[in-house]
Amino acid sequence: MAIMLQGTGLDPVAYREAMEVFRHLGNPFRNHFARNSDDDSCGRFHVPELYSRERGLLLSLIDQFRSNHASPAEVLPILGNKGAGKTHLLHSIKHGESGKNNGIHLLVTPGSYQRDADFLEYLFFQVIDTLLGGGRHGRERPLLGICELVVARSLAQTLSSMTTQEKVEFFPPPMLGRWLRSLGLGTQQAEERCGWLVGRLTQGETRTLTPGTVTGLCVEAGIPPDRAAEVLIRHAIASSGRSTQGMMRAAVIRGLAGVALKGDESDLASFLTYGFAELDFHVRPSRQDLVLSLFKALLGILREVRVPVFVAFDQLEDLLLARRGEDVHKVAESFFAGIVQCMHQLQGIGFLLFAERGLWNRFVPSLDGYMRDRLTNPVHLPGKGTIQALRLDPPPPELVRMVVEARLRALHSSHGCFSFLPACFPFQLEQIDRIARTEATLRDMLQQFRQLFDALVFGQEEEARFERHVENAGIIPDFTRPNAVQSVNEAVQMAETAHSDTGTNRIIGAPGDGRLDKTNPEIEVRSVVQLEVPLAPGLFPVENASMGLGELWDLEMRAAARQLEPEGAVAGATRELQSGLGMLLRLMNDHGVRVGPWRLQHVVEGFDFGEHPTYGVISIGHWACQGGKPWRVGIGLFLGRGQGKPKDLGVKFQCLHFDPSVVDQLILLRPEDDMVLQGKTKQLWQDMEKNGQGLRLEPLGREGIQLMYALPRIFATASEARPSSGVASEIAGVLGDRYEAFLRQLCMPVLDT
């Protein structure tokens, strides 16, 4: 005890009482790594001084793309060992600090790499998924801010191009308007109102516009938003021309105007997933040219409103090396070749590659010289110098102390009861410095602090005493009372009483504990350091302290539900969902998951065909049953809505006409709220059935959609801490246990015996 007290400035009684309370609050170092760049735990323990130089350089690069409309595509590697803090740094760029111009940016963070798809298609649909999905950059969806900027600029251009007579028609005098216009009056008033609205709209070019700003300005100027959208769209069509890219540009602006002025995302989602392939082309482009034209049109619109677009590949080693038995050099070469190809075809897009140094040094030097030169080409930042890569080295001891204090701050400030404690208590400065100087990465340091915290707070003698009182019952100290440490002894005594009186595994709320009185006075006990209690503001959630696969699964499923919540999000995520379906089949194949008498013998995760980039893809599974031949079953997502519904079905049916054939049976998964086939769609289905084709339409619920979206992210996150082969086996087990009904929809019918 004397050794532990050295340097703390506490007497033995205060030290022991503080330790008692710390046991109830849990270990703040158990969440030692972030799941992904959207993990809220990054912001909870953020230390701005950590990697501040590297963050400043990244923000400068984003601002450079914002200010330079003609910026060529750039790539910047961010290199560091596993656990160096790369994901945390990416989180701070995406959700935290913004650039010096305080503008918005579109940061795409793919959760999976679809290595079997064309790279440009894969990248384009990642951008669409980010735009249409429910994910946020900070507090808002990036789509909403982008819509306001684009519509404000386009409407200002539309008004500025109007003739005097058009302005009078658009801004009619409020009283006796028709009579005054017939006399040629009202011109000056229309000019003034038009000038005022243009001035207010163009002010947004130097700041971020909140959702609803443009609509509010139109209403203030006496213009119905629908009328404003009508003239804006007409001007966009007239000014964009009849080229492929021009028609696409006008259609995208029309969709963005619908979001900003009507609150309707359906037109934008429909065009980005279906309509862009149905335009009235003089010469129909190829599949690749369609995607490239729309990609260029979209990037051009974003450049005009100074919205930089960056694609950040985090945990690159897990994205590239996740499959067993693959030629990893071939996969890495294909990935880097795709980035180089996009750098030549696209303008104004940046790539941030967060990778382990070992991976980078393993693959990049062996690439073709031309690709290597493009990937390692230095980036020049005015006023900052020229950088070839950012390297995240272990932080110095003084920064490590700040990280430790940030984690401990929630304990010390819990209702102000321990504000007198040293900032690093229960650690000593010498212990922090020793760990900071000897460990290789920040994650290794946090793991050491986790073990040291357990050793100091849950030492053998204290732990044995504590477990005697809390194993079957316990008590939460009253943090609202002035002298909170005195309540610890009361807590232990009341725990004994509660256990002897009830004999149940529950915690009884302490007298005066307002937090428990407002919720439920009886709270279940999970473990000594994991108590299901409402937390004080700023406290870390101890229930996620040691996350298992089940908890991770539930977190990612909830994140998928949020991402897929907006109206057009599911359509925008079509390719991502199909990729998740392919991964699901591969896991079943690799780990022998059976469905009744059927098991998979071979899987093709993604089979691309036809000229429609969104609809022309299925997965193929070869299902075998004992004593019978394998059936080649194509499984596709039939997600088209409205006019896209018959087109989606017609494209999917193309896979049944190949010679030689590639599938014997086609299973289409259709959202369960729209299972009825009518009109042209019904006729297409009946014609295929008359030709003897094996078809099946299966209802797809929200849980199935979320599973396909979340599965690649579950695998990537779980593989961060453990070998991917063991993780894949565990995930396959969960699929077999939790989703048997869904798996039955993916195979041949299971006959009842």
Q: Could you report the per-residue pLDDT of 347-373, keeping only the tens digit for each?
A: 989 999 999 988 898 889 989 888 999
Highest averaged pLDDT of the listed ranges 217-221, 277-281, 324-328 = 217-221
- In terms of domains, do 194 and 111 share one? no
Q: Is residue 726 part of a domain?
A: yes
Give the CA-trace dihedral at 143, 147, 148, 154, to 10 degrees: 160
Q: Is residue 552 part of a domain?
A: no
Q: What is the pLDDT of residue 387?
A: 93
Token look-up 């979340």 returns 710
Q: Which of 274, 304, 334 is the last residue of a domain?
A: 304
Question: pLDDT by residue (tens digit) across 493-506?
Answer: 443 343 344 333 32
Q: What is the pLDDT of residue 459?
A: 76
- In terms of domains, do 405 and 437 share one? yes
Residue 507: which pLDDT band, with cuts at 50, 70 and 90? very low
**How many structural domains are present in the chain?**
4
Maximum pairwise Cα distance, the chain: 98
Higher pLDDT, 638 or 97: 638
The gap between the terminal CA atoms of the chain, to the nearest Å, is 70
Cα 727 from Cα 557, distance rounded (Å): 17
Q: Is residue 751 part of a domain?
A: no
Question: pLDDT by residue (tens digit) across 252-267?
Answer: 999 999 999 999 999 9
The answer on pLDDT for 208 being more than 80 is: no
Q: Can you tell me the mean pLDDT for 681-703?
A: 93
Higher pLDDT, 752 or 381: 381
- In terms of domains, do 472 and 399 share one? yes
Q: Is residue 553 part of a domain?
A: no
Provide the residue type at 103 as one letter. Answer: G
CA distances 689 to 86, 615, 652, 674, 692, Å, are: 53, 21, 14, 20, 5
Question: pLDDT by residue (tens digit) across 160-178?
Answer: 999 988 888 888 766 545 5
- In terms of domains, do 418 and 361 share one? no
Which residues touch 713 (CB under 8 Å, ≥6 apart)? 36, 111, 112, 556, 559, 560
Cα 730 from Cα 367, distance rounded (Å): 35
Higher pLDDT, 413 or 471: 413
Q: What is the pLDDT of residue 536?
A: 36
The answer on pLDDT for 538 being more than 50 is: no
Least confident range from 3-12, 47-56, 79-88, 369-378: namely: 3-12
**Average pLDDT, rounded, for the chain:** 81
The answer on pLDDT for 484 being more than 50 is: no
Q: What is the pLDDT of residue 110?
A: 92
Q: What is the pLDDT of residue 250?
A: 96
Residue 749: which pLDDT band, with cuts at 50, 70 and 90? confident
Q: Can you tell me the mean pLDDT for 433-459?
A: 90
Least confident range from 237-241, 525-529, 585-589: namely: 525-529
Which residues touch 677 (CB under 8 Å, ≥6 apart)? 685, 697
Q: Which of 339, 361, 391 is the last residue of a domain?
A: 391
Q: Is residue 36 part of a domain?
A: no
The answer on pLDDT for 543 being more than 50 is: no
- In terms of domains, do 661 and 588 share one? yes
Higher pLDDT, 693 or 11: 693
Residues β-bridged to residue 671: 700
Q: Can you tell me the mean pLDDT for 118-129?
A: 95
Least confident range from 196-200, 526-530, 609-613: namely: 526-530
The answer on pLDDT for 181 being more than 60 is: no
- In terms of domains, do 382 and 460 share one? no
- In terms of domains, do 583 and 711 share one? yes
Residue 571: which pLDDT band, with cuts at 50, 70 and 90? very high
Domain encompassing residue 194: 142-285+299-304
Higher pLDDT, 481 or 61: 61
The answer on pLDDT for 628 being more than 80 is: no
Burial of residue 11 (number of CB atoms within 10 Å: 0-12, 13-18, 19+):
exposed
CATH code: domain of residue 110: 3.40.50
The answer on pLDDT for 433 being more than 80 is: yes
The answer on pLDDT for 522 being more than 70 is: no
Please name the helix (run of DSSP H) or strand (run of DSSP E) that holds residue 686, with its range, or none. helix 679-690
Q: What is the pLDDT of residue 225?
A: 93
Q: Is residue 356 part of a domain?
A: yes
Cα 350 from Cα 370, distance rounded (Å): 19
Q: Can you tell me the mean pLDDT for 414-439?
A: 83
Q: What is the pLDDT of residue 490?
A: 43
Highest averaged pLDDT of the listed ranges 7-11, 328-332, 621-625 = 621-625
- Count how many residues are written for the chain: 753
Q: What is the pLDDT of residue 396?
A: 94
Q: Can you tell me the mean pLDDT for 547-553?
A: 83
Residue 545: which pLDDT band, with cuts at 50, 70 and 90? very low
- In terms of domains, do 155 and 247 share one? yes
Higher pLDDT, 299 or 27: 299
- In terms of domains, do 276 and 352 share one? no
Q: Is residue 113 part of a domain?
A: yes
- In terms of domains, do 380 and 424 share one? no
Q: Is residue 350 part of a domain?
A: yes
- In terms of domains, do 399 and 526 share one? yes
Percentage with pLDDT > 90 across the chain? 52
Q: What is the pLDDT of residue 33?
A: 66
**Closest of 210, 91, 231 to residue 146, by C-alpha:** 210
Cβ atoms within 10 Å of 571's Cβ, excluding its own: 23
- In terms of domains, do 512 and 533 share one? yes
Q: Which of 391, 411, 429 is the last residue of a domain?
A: 391
